Chains A and B, each alone.
Chain A
Amino acid sequence: QSVLTQPPSASETPGQRVTISCSGSSSNIENNYVYWYQQLPGTAPKLLIFRINQRPSGVPDRFSGTKSGASASLAISGLRSEDEADYYCAAWDDTLSDYVFGTGTKVTVL
């Protein structure tokens, strides 16, 4: 059972904005960096956002991350069909001494 909770699914039409939440606690999100990974169907995960809101080279600025207290969010603006994927938040948990992933959110482009 993951300590980071995400909605199982989210959907929106092309060109719109979708936001995915990630709820944690003081032992993980509130006092540590948050990361987001994208997993396209049938492929390995890929780093999408690091240190809350930084994008690796090659990740479009349509993807953005924020954090407030023990929760974080990933926003995808100008949604495209190629954004259909599973998205996972992650953080280090100080109590568990584990690297924990969120439960994952499947994004569907309608």
Chain B
Amino acid sequence: DTAVSQTPKYLVTQMGNDKSIKCEQNLGHDTMYWYKQDSKKFLKIMFSYNNKELIINETVPNRFSPKSPDKAHLNLHINSLELGDSAVYFCASSRRDRGRLETQYFGPGTRLLVL
């Protein structure tokens, strides 16, 4: 009964390729996020969607494009992968309660290695 799941768990690919990471949550939450954790373990938010609407878009190269087909899914597509994209990508979800966002629950992460 995984709450927030991500696929794949590991992704090894060549520079220049295009790849996607999928995220699904079964918590009934209406807000989902993508975070990037770099080699120094620094976690930084990339995107957030609420009810399929983009609400947070940090300074991220436009090679990264999130897509939310419905409230339970937020996928991350990356074009023209670069060495610097190697990181762990975490998906998270939360619900909005009276205008405030509650605790974020994280997925297990996708470890991306670009060669």
A and B found bound together: no
Binding site for A on B (CB under 8 A): none
A residues whose Cβ falls under 8 Å from a Cβ of B: none
